Chain A
Amino acid sequence: MSLIKKAIDWGTKKSPWIIHFNAGACNGCDIETIDSLTPRYDLERVGILKQGSPRHADVLICTGAVTLQTRDRLIQIYEQMSDPKFVIAIGTCACTGGIFEDCYCVTGGIDSVIPVDVYIPGCAVRPEAIISAVDKLLGSLDNDKKEGGGNYES
């Protein structure tokens, strides 16, 4: 493993930067996501930082079912992120489509468009669940490497 890759891995685990994308949520999950970043839960104190641009982010936090209007935008944002990148689906809608499944303009959950690493069910999810999910995601990186993963250079 090259030195640069080691540094990237360390940096990603120590301080993952996130970007939040609303693919068609009712805003319930968005409120909870913002709640987990604001002072009451304050994810920032452990190094998790919200970014304005997908090019600076490691983790894409998606809420809501994917609609036909946001489908192409979601793919664009995902492709703009640099490797290694991870996706967290927040809320029942983002996991499966939820109550909006089979609607005339909904394609389904986030995984109908892009690969998802962590699913958090709940309507709406609690901020504690979001924190726990980010924690699990970072923990899983170590396990992943033991199994031979981490070859994300594309």
Chain B
Amino acid sequence: MNREEAIVNSICGRFPFLADRIYIQKDKRIFTKSLLREEFEQVIAYVHDELNFTRVSHVVGTDDGENLGLLYIFSGSEDILLILRESVPKSNPVIKSISDMYPSIVLHERELVDLFGVVVEGLPEGPHYPLPDGWPEGNYPMRKEWNPKHFNKDTMTYEEPQEKEVQKNE
């Protein structure tokens, strides 16, 4: 049994529901398929405390239309990356901040707030990052439905053209 399999086995032993959703993509890369919020919170605590994945190097946001996907990349003392995916519905995109375990993630979580409109519970109040000061509320440039062509940079307002709404109603 190599190192990757040992890690997968220990995660599956603790969380049997993950057995068909965790896979070794190639050498040193362990992926999971999308987890729900509650599952994700349990797994992350275990991974941090027991398996020593104490660093987070990236958070990637994705938008598949109905759900927002979050992809967290963890590393630890060994050269193995563990990639956990979380999925939240766009209508209620609430996640819990993991900055108590990984202090460096605050910057990434702010990016999720600004660019994808994710609501991060437990994230301290702070300025816009990386969007500029004075950016209008409710505009999330990395979401699929947001079109930069409709954004007026001088007045900082977003206006969808009228015809598009007519098409939607039909």
Contact = CB atoms under 8 A, between A and B. Distances in A.
A67 B128 CA distance: 14
Interface size class of B (residues with CB under 8 A): 10 to 19
A107 interface: yes
B138 interface: no
Nearest to B149: A102
A104 interface: yes
A103 B132 contact: no
Interface string A3-16: 00000000000000
Nearest to A67: B132
B40 interface: no
A104 B132 contact: no
A141 interface: no
B148 A68 contact: no
A105 interface: yes
A102 B141 CA distance: 12
A64 to B, nearest CB: 15
Contacts of A107: 153
Contacts of A67: 132
Interface centre among A68, A102, A104, A105 (most CB of B within 10 A): A104
A104 B133 contact: no
Contact of A68 (B146, B149, B153): B153
Nearest to B140: A104
A80 interface: no
Interface in B136-150: 141, 146, 148-149
Nearest to B128: A69
A69 B132 CA distance: 5
Nearest to B115: A104
A69 B133 contact: yes
Nearest to B139: A104
Interface in A86-109: 102-105, 107
Contacts of B146: 104
Contacts of A102: 148-149
Contacts of B148: 102-104
Contacts of A103: 148
A67 B131 CA distance: 10
Contacts of A104: 141, 146, 148, 151
Contacts of B141: 104-105
19 contacts: A67-B132, A68-B132, A68-B135, A68-B153, A68-B156, A69-B132, A69-B133, A102-B148, A102-B149, A103-B148, A104-B141, A104-B146, A104-B148, A104-B151, A105-B131, A105-B132, A105-B141, A105-B153, A107-B153
Given A68-B156, A104-B141, 11 more contacts: A67-B132, A68-B132, A68-B153, A69-B132, A69-B133, A104-B151, A105-B131, A105-B132, A105-B141, A105-B153, A107-B153
Interface of B: 131-133, 135, 141, 146, 148-149, 151, 153, 156
